[in-house]
Amino acid sequence: MGVALWLCPKANTPLHDKLVTLTSSLSTLFPGQPPKIEPHVTVTSSISINLDDPEKTKEEVYKILTASATAIKSLPKNHCNLVTLGKVDSHRSYLKKLYFHVRRDPNLISFATIIRELFVILPQEIEHETMKKYPHLYTTNENGLIVRKKKGKHSVGKEVEPQDADLNLPSIQKVAQEKASHWSQDEYDPHLSLVYSNLYPIDNALWRTIKTRIQDYLNIDHCDSDDLIDNGLDWDNGVLKLVLCEGDVNDWVVLGSVDLH
């Protein structure tokens, strides 16, 4: 996953507290000790950011969060809530073991598309084109991955440094825009995870217990019905968080956050 952008309800609000209580309650139904989950909807993962230089990391985190907040503010004011939670569902994957579907609000999809284009696909496309134009700047590391060579302290002679002006940026941007659009329509699956677990499958008895607990807590019927697109939990602004999602879930690190108003 690398670095991901999360859209979260604000802490210490009734909605946030309700989701935390619900996830904690549901976790007790699963074997082991599932990790605590910060309630969030992932906008996108695999965000390109420099993690080698703390100063550059700080600058890029600020840039990404500022641009993301601006992007949200620019969306049309034609909706009630950016995030509306729907039916509960399960999946065989660890990170989607138990989750709420999130309604595909047009503004949410537009926002995710913008962020995916600017901070995931566009940097990848620029790096790809740079690699083709300046192959001497790259090498293969011990894992067989092609990476940018590190500058030596005692480099002899002058190396030609890549310049954005040497690339066809309008063409690259067009490709990134098209790929982001396809991703948002074909791959993006907004959801809010309730439990992380390796348990699979969830048997009928456990599923009935899960449903009963959710329905009693939210005071709704048929929480896993395909017709349920709004379970009464939703929010509009909230908080944007950039999170380094590597290693154990308990070791994930919030790199920065910004409140939305």
Catalytic residue annotation: 40, 191
d(CA 118, CA 115): 5
Q: Mapped to the 3 state alphabet, what secondary structure does the chain carry?
A: CEEEEEEECCCCCHHHHHHHHHHHHHHCCCCCCCCCCCCCEEEECCCCCCCCCHHHHHHHHHHHHHHHHHHHHCCCCCCCCCEEEEEEEECCCHHHCEEEEECCCHHHHHHHHHHHHHHHHHHHHHHHHHHHHCHHHEEECCCCCEEECCCCCCCCCCCCCCCHHHCCHHHHHHHHHHHHHHHHHHCCCCEEEEECCCCCCCCHHHHHHHHHHHHHHHCCCCCCCCCCCCCCCEECCEEEEEEEECCCHHHCEEEEEEEEC
Nearby residues of 38 by Cβ (< 8 Å), 6 or more positions away: 6, 8, 241
Question: d(Cα 82, Cα 10) in Å, to the nearest integer?
Answer: 14
Which residues lie closer than 8 Å to 166 by C-beta, 6 or more apart?
A: 133
